[in-house]
Amino acid sequence: MKENASLSKSGDKIFFKINSKGIYVQKKQTSHNGLRLRAQADKQKIFDELIRKDKSLRHLFHVPTIRSTSTIKKSFSFDMEYCHGDSVIDLFEKRGVNKIQRICDSIFYYLDWEFSHSKLSNDWYAPTIRKVEELKMQIDSNIFDISSLDTLIDLLVLNKNINIHEGLCHGDLTFSNMLFTDKVVLFDFLPVYFETPYQDIAKLLQEVELKWTYLIANNIKDRAKIKIAYVFLKKQINEIIKELVKRYKINYTMVLIFYTIAIIRILPYVDSSDIIALIDEENKKTIQKIYEATNAK
């Protein structure tokens, strides 16, 4: 058996292995807490089954099938199907806007499916407060303005009676967690503190506002072309969000709350001072928007 290893963004080890049946991927925990990776595997299995059952979704999306899970010496791992495809950076460099438009159409359908299977709920408040308090303990105050989290908590209190859509979500729906074949391949599902499609809108905002996949990509050949493509992508994603807000009467202030938490959650996994500064700036700007929207009510 041959294998190659790399690290995921969360620090887990990813092995690309070859056996008599071909290539497959193994993801293995590197921390003492295997619950997160186990929950990720469980979530991927759920979405694999749901997408296969939906006649329209299965023509647009694919989720790599998890073939097995194991725990050896308290270390959890899972093996899954290997999928070959283009990254969004590949698409930006090699393809035109028509391909991007088709992908955005698929993403709209996916989000519409999530919202159509959700329910209105007020159960978001307690787990969201806990998550922000947890982030205050995790983040180094020397590199990030922790006081903004106190402001965020105050804003959460002011918005605590708002109902939002509770239901399944990918959890980390940036383009860095997609591959593109004749379908959109979704992977790296993330267990989140509260399951809501707002999480996926928040991660798409992270993608287009921070140019996230571009920020973390290696071996970029045509930076100018990619930046132009992001202008088009941002316009398309914002149109998607606008239509969903209208269709499902989404409270956009709450979307911004989940967005700012989403970008703050990145900080423990980032060591680039430039990216940290960018997140800090974007967080302050978003907190201000939340404050203005809350006080306008």
Domain with CATH 3.90.1200.10 in the chain: 88-295
Paired residues of 184 in beta bridges: 61, 180
Residue 2's identity, in one-letter code, is K
Instruction: Catalogue the E-assigned strands of 189-285.
Output: none
Per the prediction, the chain carries an average pLDDT of 93
CATH number of 2-81: 3.30.200
Predicted pLDDT at 5: 41
Kindly list the strands in the beta sheet with 66-72, ordered across the sheet, starting from the edge strand earlier in the chain: 2-7, 13-19, 22-28, 75-81, 66-72
Least confident of 53-57, 97-101, 106-110: 97-101
Position 7 pLDDT exceeds 50: no
Q: Which residues lie closer than 8 Å to 105 by C-beta, 6 or more apart?
A: none
Domain with CATH 3.30.200 in the chain: 2-81
Is it the case that residue 133 has pLDDT exceeding 60?
Answer: yes
Q: Which residue has the higher pLDDT, 264 or 145?
A: 264
Nearest alpha-carbon partner for 252 in 296, 192, 208:
296
- Closest-CA residue to 118 (of 198, 233, 229, 207): 198
CATH number of 88-295: 3.90.1200.10
Summarize the confidence of residues 3-19 as an average pLDDT.
69
Residue 218 confidence class, pLDDT cut points 50, 70, 90: confident
Residue whose token pair is 């990254």: 87
Angle at Cα 177 formed by Cα 171 and Cα 178, nearest 5°? Answer: 120
- What is this structure's pTM? 0.94
